Amino acid sequence: MTDLDSFIAGLPKAELHLHIEGSLEPELMFALARRNGIDIPYASVEQVRAAYAFSNLQDFLDIYYAGAGVLRTRRDFHDLAAAYFARAAADGVVHAEIMFDPQTHTDRGIAFSEVIEGLLSAMAEAEAEHGMTSKLILSFLRHLSEEAAFATLEAAEPWLDRIAAVGLDSSEVGHPPLKFAQVFAAARDRGLKITAHAGEEGPPEYVYQALDLLHADRIDHGNRALEDPVLVDRLAEMRMTLTVCPLSNLKLCVVDDLARHPIDRMLALGLKATINSDDPAYFGGYIGDNFRAVARARGLDREEIVALARNSFTGSFLPPEAVALHLEKLDAYVAAYA
């Protein structure tokens, strides 16, 4: 381990862009398939990993939704999330805001209660066992209708006090934020925060729509905003958090080489970028791997790495007092390390 690697490992950080279904490791996929008596089209863990070669977002999504088919009971959702929290704790994550895709499960006949109760039980354990706090983000699948998103918001009604935000994920191109303006307004009326994937594969126009029509508190990815200098200035001016995912960008061909990843350009432009893992089981690494890989590829210095971790707390949905406490601990870590 280099000095920078150990600095990154111990650096307190929050994860703001993580799809819990995307943390399903092949080993757990096999174990759950066996437990639930489900056939999966792979003979071995190695064969599963070999299938994870994607040339775009849709390639990945097809495999990701198929993989989620082994998740059936609240115990499965608990085990999935517990495994993620253990990995994240080892990477210095002290707070995680995790997305889940209820429609991926309810459309297969799994009750909303099974999904969310399993996740909530693992969240309570993560706090007790790792001292890690967490929040839930309910993400709507944008390839489905706005009506279906409304039905999902309705199914979530009994748990809304335990859901921090709504998000928007899945196939981006052809499914602009505009399509979901009404349901996001309804979510805002219920006091939920707003985040949306925009500018991963979709054009800068989708980022404008996420801001102007969804009133997003955060933008997930946001890479293609860089194509529009007026938009960049606006995002920088408003200190909008971008949840950037370097290894995801590489695996889904949003960037062709990590050596050309724009993370440091984003910081230099005044954009409030953060580092996240997106779907770590599918993209080759958890948040620590993302920090290390992009730091090495772009030659990030310690100041840039600290800025990215700092942004993860100020960009979180934690109350200001909690953010201030995390920043104090972050500053103490950096001072002690020097």
Positions that interact with Zn ion (CB under 5 A)? 278
Q: Assess 57 for contact with ligand HPA (CB under 6 A).
A: yes
- The least distance separating ligand HPA from the CB of residue 241, rounded to whole angstroms, comes to 16
> Measured at CB, which residue is nearest to ligand HPA?
169
What does the chain come to in residues?
338
Specify the residue, 91 or 278, whose C-beta has the smaller distance to ligand HPA: 278
Binding of ligand HPA by 19 (CB under 6 A): yes
Number of neighbouring beta carbons within 10 Å of residue 190: 13
Could you list the active site residues?
200
Q: Give dist(CA 282, CA 188) in Å, integer.
A: 32
We find the least distance from the C-beta atom of residue 71 to ligand HPA, in angstroms, to be 14
Q: For the chain, how big is the Rg over CA atoms in Å?
A: 19
Quick one: tokens of 148?
């279906």
275 three-class SS:
strand
The angle at the Cα of 257, spanning 253 to 258, to the nearest 5 degrees, equals 105
- Report the nearest approach of Zn ion to the CB of residue 140 (Å): 13
Q: Quick check: 225 binds ligand HPA (CB under 6 A)?
A: no
* Cα 59 from Cα 119, distance rounded (Å): 27
Q: Which of 175, 197, 251, 310 binds ligand HPA (CB under 6 A)?
A: 197
DSSP character at residue 11: S
With residue 18 as reference, give the H or E element that holds it.
strand 13-19
Which of ligand HPA, Zn ion, none does residue 22 bind to, with CB < 5 to 8 Å depending on kind?
ligand HPA
d(CA 331, CA 338): 11
Residue 285's binding partner, choosing from ligand HPA, Zn ion, none, with beta-carbon cut-off 5 to 8 A by kind?
none
Q: Which does 201 bind (CB under 5 to 8 A by kind): ligand HPA, Zn ion, none?
A: none
- Binding of ligand HPA by 170 (CB under 6 A): yes
Would strands 272-275 and 241-244 be described as parallel, antiparallel, or unpaired?
parallel
Q: Is 290 in the site for ligand HPA (CB under 6 A)?
A: no
Candidates 282, 262, 260; CA nearest to 199 is 262
Query: Least CB distance from residue 175 to ligand HPA, whole Å?
Result: 10
Closest to Zn ion by CB, 81 vs 334, is 81
Contacts to ligand HPA by CB under 6 A: 19, 22, 57, 64, 169-170, 197, 200, 248, 278-279
